């Protein structure tokens, strides 16, 4: 609900979004979301720092409570284009970057999540992140 515009709710359950519009940050596409078996996969919730990446960069050393918080933290969750999220899978910044105009915000968000949960950055991630951030010196961490 946070990432959609023009939202309608299910009449039977105000907590469920029936329809909405997503301006996908990863692709730039405008996606008309309609809840349903054949349509809900058009919009998916991405873990900006994939949970498998988090695990191998330090999450295995944090408490179960902290891992639960990481998996459900709004900072680490973002509504995006479903097929793009599927292709991203568990990639890190060295293997996946969104469209160029969103890369600064994406990398800043990843770094904020990693800092918050005391996760480290691999050498390949760092190289990619430094390359991206060198193009956006005014980007602030969320």
* pLDDT tens profile 24-48: 999 999 999 999 988 889 999 999 9
- Torsion angle of alpha carbons 102, 91, 24, 110, nearest 10°? -50
Where in the chain are the domains? 4-133
pTM of the predicted model, to two decimals? 0.92
Q: What is the DSSP string of 50-96?
A: -HHHHHHTTGGGS-HHHHHHHHH-GGGEEEEEHHHHHHHTT--TTT-
pLDDT digits (tens, 9 = 90+) for 68-79: 999 999 999 999
């Amino acid at each position: 609900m946070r990432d959609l515009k023009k939202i309608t709710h299910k009449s039977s359950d105000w907590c469920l979004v029936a329809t909405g519009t997503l301006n996908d940050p990863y692709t730039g596409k405008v996606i008309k979301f309609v809840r349903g078996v054949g349509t809900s996969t058009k919009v998916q919730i991405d873990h900006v720092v994939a949970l498998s990446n988090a695990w191998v960069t330090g999450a295995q050393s944090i408490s179960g409570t902290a891992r639960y918080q990481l998996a459900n933290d709004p900072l680490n969750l973002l509504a995006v284009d479903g097929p793009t999220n599927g292709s991203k899978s568990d990639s890190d910044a060295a293997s996946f970057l969104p469209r160029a105009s969103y890369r600064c915000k994406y990398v800043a968000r990843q770094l904020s999540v990693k800092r918050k949960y005391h996760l480290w950055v691999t050498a390949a991630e760092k190289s990619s992140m430094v390359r991206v951030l060198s193009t956006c010196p005014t980007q602030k961490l969320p």
